[in-house]
Amino acid sequence: MRTLESERRKQGYSLRGLQAASGVNKTTINQIERGRFLPSEYQLAKLASALRWEGELSGLLGDVS
């Protein structure tokens, strides 16, 4: 899940900042980044929109195997 964290940090977002921009709870974002929670497509789309992510939604998750 490091890709989401890397993209968040690259764009200068704190967890709280990305929560404000995306509407996804900061605890949920942290759990996604740590690989402890698999987001719904809706949550992932909200995060991708806030980060202006242009790739596949699953690309934000990195390697989930």
Q: What amino acid occupies position 34?
A: R
Q: Is residue 58 part of a domain?
A: no
Which of 14, 15, 51, 17 is closest to 59 using CA atoms?
51
Q: Residue 64: is its pLDDT beyond 60?
A: no
Position 28 in a domain: yes
Nearest to 16 by CA among 63, 49, 52, 50: 50
Q: pLDDT tens digits for 9-45?
A: 999 999 999 999 999 999 999 999 999 999 999 999 9
Q: Which two tokens stand for residue 48?
A: 């991708």
pLDDT higher than 80, residue 63: no
CATH number of the domain encompassing residue 11: 1.10.260.40
Contact 60, 6 (CB under 8 A): no
Write down the pTM of the prediction.
0.89
- Count how many domains the chain has: 1
Q: Is residue 57 part of a domain?
A: no
Does a structural domain hold residue 65? Answer: no
Domain coverage including residue 29:
2-52
